[in-house]
Chain A
Amino acid sequence: MIRVERIHKHFGRLHVLRGITFDLPRGEALVIIGPSGSGKSTLLRCINLLVEPDEGKVIIDGVQVNRPDIRPEWARQQVGMVFQSFNLFTHLNALENVALGPIRVKGMAREAAEEKAKQLLARVGLAAKTQAFPAELSGGQQQRVAIARALAMDPKAILFDEPTSALDPEYIREVLDVMTALARDGMTMVVVTHEMGFASNVAQRILFMDAGMIIEEGRPEEIFGNPKHERTRAFVGKILR
C-alpha cells in the first residue's frame, strides 16, 4: 500500500532522515514512536509530499509519487493527513470543512458533498455540530472534524501526526476511540503518537525512530515488553514509567 525506500531529507546542514525504508500493507495500522527531533513528523510529511524527500522513493499503491511527472496534489489526494494542531479552516463551519475537499478537489456536487460530510461527521460522533465553527468547538471535537475531513477524500491511507498531543487530557479518549474504530474498519494508517496504550492495543507494528533512522521495529509486545536495542529500551523505559 505504502512503501518508502531509502528516504533522505536534509534541512540545511541538518540530516533529518537518514535512509528510512519500510513497507505498510493495506489495512495495517503502523505506529511510529521516538524522541522529539527524531524525524517522525518529517517522515509523515514526506509520505504525502508536504516535504519533498531529497533522495529515495515514496511508493503509493505501486506508483512512485515523488517524481517530476506526477503532481504532488495527486499523491496527497491518495493519502489523508491529520495534524497535531487540527488546522481546521477557521472561516468555514464543520460541515463546510469536511465538504470543501470533495467539492473543490473532486468536483463533487455541493449537495452530494454536504450529504457525505453529514454522514462522516455522524461517524465521528458530531452529528449535532455540523453548523459549528472551529473556534466554537473543543480540541477533541476539532480533531474529530479533521479526521472526517481527511476521510471525505476517500483516502487509501491516513497519516496522523501526533493527533492527541495538543489536546487536554479529557479529550484524548474521544479522538483515540475514533481512530481505533477506523483501524478496526481496516483503514490503513500511520500514526505518530506518544499514546502507548493506543499503540499497544491498535497497532499491528511499531517503528522506533531515533536520529533519523529506524532503530527497531516489531509487534507492540516485542517493542514494549522486550526491546532489543539499548536506545529503544531507554526510550520505552522513560515513556512507560
Chain B
Amino acid sequence: MATAEATLGRQTERAPFPHASAIRITEALVGGTIFVVVLEVFLGFNLLDPALWSLYGSVFLAGIVRTLTYIALVLPVSVSIGFALGWARVSRFRALAWPATVYVEFFRGVPPLVIVIFASILGPNLFPERFQSVQLGLILGALAIGLHSASFQGEIFRAGFQSVPRGQLEAAQAIGMQPLQSMRSVVLPQALRLSLPPLSNEFAVLIKDTSLMAIISGGELFHRSQLFMDQSVLTGTGQLHWLFIVWTAVAAVYFVMTFTVTRAMRLLERKYHARGLEGISI
C-alpha cells in the first residue's frame, strides 16, 4: 500500500486533504486491533487456539480460495453486463432500451437467493447432458449473483451517462468525432467520474453476496465455515467459543477483500478526477 501511495504522489495533492488514505488505513488497523484486544483480553477468547486452527485452518484456506474464484468470475461478468445495460437504457434506439429496462426491473425485484437456486438447479437442464455436472450448477448459481448485481450496476452506469450534459456530446460531434470516438474520449470519462463511487458500493455488496452460494453448497468460505461449525458441534469435538473465533475470522476475510477492492476503486476515482469539479466540502 505504501508504494501505491508513493507512486500516486502527484494526484494525492488533488485529494481534499493530503493523507486521506493513510488516515483511512490507520483507522482500519486501529479498529481491527481494538476489536481483537476486546475479544482476546476482555472476553477471554484465544483467537489463535491451536486446537481450532489445526482442524479449521485448511477449511478456512480452501473457503477463501473458492470465494476468490467466485469473485473473479462474477465481478467482471456483472460489470460487463451492467455497463451494457446502462448504455442500452440511454440508447436512442428503443429496441435496445426497452429490453434493458425489463431486465433491470426483473432482476432488481427478485430475491437473489431465489435466482441462485433456480439457476443452479434448473439452469443445467438447458445444457446438453454431457456438460451437466455439479460444477456447472455452481457456475450458473454464481453467474446468477452476477446477473442480479448487474441490474443495480446498470442503473449506476445509466445515472453516469445521464449526468453528462448534451452539449458535451454536441461539442465532440462538432469537431468531427464519430459516435464511438465521442463515447470513448468525451462521454465515458465523465460518466465514470460519477459512476465510480456508487459502483464501489455495489462491488462491496457483490463480494459479500458470494456467500449466498452457501444455499447451494457452494463450498466458499461462508459455506465451509458453517459446515465446520455444525460438524464440530454435532460430533462434540468443538468448543462453543470456537463459534466466535470462526465467524470473526470469516468476517475479517470479507472485510479485507471488500476494503481492498474499494481502495483500488479510489485509485480509479483519482484517475477520472476533474479539477474544479470537486463539489462542496462541508
Residues of A at under 8 Å CB distance from B? 48, 50, 71-74, 76-77, 80-81, 83, 85, 87-91, 93, 100-101, 104-105, 133-136, 146, 149-150, 152-153
Contacts and interface: CB of A to CB of B under 8 A. Distances in A.
A104 B177 CA distance: 8
B275 interface: yes
B11 interface: no
Contact of A105 (B165, B175, B189): B175
Contact of B167 (A85, A100, A105, A152): A85
Contact of B170 (A83, A91, A93): A83
A77 B175 contact: yes
B193 interface: yes
Interface of B: 165, 167-168, 170-178, 181, 185-186, 189-190, 193, 272, 274-277
Contact of A88 (B171, B177, B178, B185): B171
Given A83-B170, A85-B167, A104-B185, A90 B274 contact: yes
Nearest to A79: B174
Contact of A135 (B170, B177, B189, B276): B276
B176 A90 contact: no
A215 B208 CA distance: 68
A43 to B, nearest CB: 15
Nearest to B172: A89
A89 B168 contact: yes
Contacts of B172: 89
A48 B174 contact: yes
B175 A91 contact: no
Nearest to B176: A77
A185 B116 CA distance: 69
B276 A73 contact: no
Given A133-B276, A135-B275, A87 B175 contact: no
A135 B274 contact: yes
Nearest to B174: A81
